[in-house]
Structure 1
C-alpha cells in the first residue's frame, strides 16, 4: 500500500479499539480508521463491504490480503463500486499497473487498470513485512456500520494446534498421497515437524483422500507459503501444488520416483522410500 501513497488502515470488528492502537504503531501508517460495531464482530463480508464502500469516497484504493477473508470481502466491494478487482498482485509497477500470476504461476501478467477506484488483493509472500513498531498514526472512529441482515454468524469450528500457522511458519513439512492413509501421515510427518518446530502442510491429493483437514492444504486452491525451508514428503509436485510453495527459500523433496516433477524445483532431492527415510531422518535430528 505504501507504494501507492499514504497508508490508512481499517480496523473493523467488535471491541477492537486495542487492535487499532497497536495498528497505529506500524511503520508507515498515517491514519487508522476504527469501525467498532457488533455487526462487524465476525467479519461477515455482507456487513463489511458497505462500510468499506462508504470510506472509498475519500480513498483511491483499498487493499486486502489474498486470504479467504480478503477474497470474501474484496469482490463485494468491487461490485458495489462497479470496478474490476485486481487479484493476487505480486508487485506494484505504477499507480495503475501491477503484476499478478496466471496459469498457476507459470506466467506473470502485467495488468493496467483505467478504474478510478482500485480494489486489490495482495499475495502476502511477495512483499516484505512492515515493521510493527516505529509508526505514529492517529486513530479515527468511523460510523456507518450496520447489520444488512443478509447473512448471520452461526458457529465456527476453530482448529487449534501447537504448531506454527502455515502462512507464518519458517519451516514446513508437507505430506502427499504416497503416505497412503491418515495414520501414516500422523505417525511419519508429525514427529519430523515437531523435531523441527515446523508447520504441517499437505498436498490436495492428501486432503482429498481425507488424511488431514483442508486447512493443511498448500497450493493454488490452498495456502500460498514461502518458508525458509519446505520439506515435501511423498508429493509428486503437480503444477497446482508448486504454485503454492515454489517461492520457498530452500525446498527439500523426498520421493521414490526420481522423475517426479517436484525434483525440478527442489534444492535438495532424496530418492527413496519415505517410510524408511523419514523416520531415520527424524531419529537423527
Structure 2
C-alpha cells in the first residue's frame, strides 16, 4: 500500500493581505469542496492569511473565516507550528474534538509529513471524527480536497479557535474540574523536543517552550508511531512521538500558567492542563 504523505508548504508572513468579506457562519456538517475556484484552479498564489493556495493551512484558514467567522492572525506558519502558536495565543488545544475546531497533526501523525497537517472538523460522532482537508493525497492527487473519518485520538490535538458547537469554549481557561489530589491521565500523543541527560522535554506537554520545570523522566513513557502503535526500539530521540500510560495524582496547580504538577517516574514535572483528563 502506497504511503500517504502530506505536504503543507511554508506560509508567508509580512506580506500585504487582501481584505475579503466572507459569508456569515453556517451550520456545521460536511460542506464539500467550497474552496474558492480562483484559488483551486489558479497557479501560484497567496491567500489573505498569507498561506499558499491549495495547502492544508490555506484551506483551514479559509474554513475558519468563511464558516466559523474567525480570522486567523498572520504568523501561524507551517501546519506543524499551529498547535504551539495557538496555545501561546491563549487558545485551547486538547484531545476533545468539536465541530469547527482544527485537527492538528505533527510530523508522522496519521499520515502527516514533516511540516505537519491541519484540517477542519466537520462532524463528531462519539469517538469518531470526520474532517475536511486539502493536500492530503489519498489517491486523488496532491493539492486537492479530501474528507475522512477516524478515531478522535489519531491527532496531535484539536485547536479551538471558535468552535461551532453551542456553548463551546474558544479560550484557554484553567480546567476547574481538575483539583489537587485528583487522579488524571494523559490524552493523545506527544513529540520529544529535546534530550536532557537521561530525560526528555516535550513542547506538547509543556504547552510552550519547555524549561527546567518541564523535564520528564522517560521511564514510564511509551514510544509510538504515527498510528499510536508501540515501536520496537523504545529509544526516544528528538522528533519521535510517545504516550504516557497510566494514572497520576495532581500534586499542585498553577492557574496563571494553566499548569499541573505531576510525578512521572522519578521526576515531578509541570504539564499543561490541556493534555490531561480527569479519571
Select the structure of larger CA radius of gyration: 1
The structure that is helix-richer by fraction is: 1
Higher relative contact order (CA 8 A, sep 6+): 2
Same fold (TM over 0.5): no
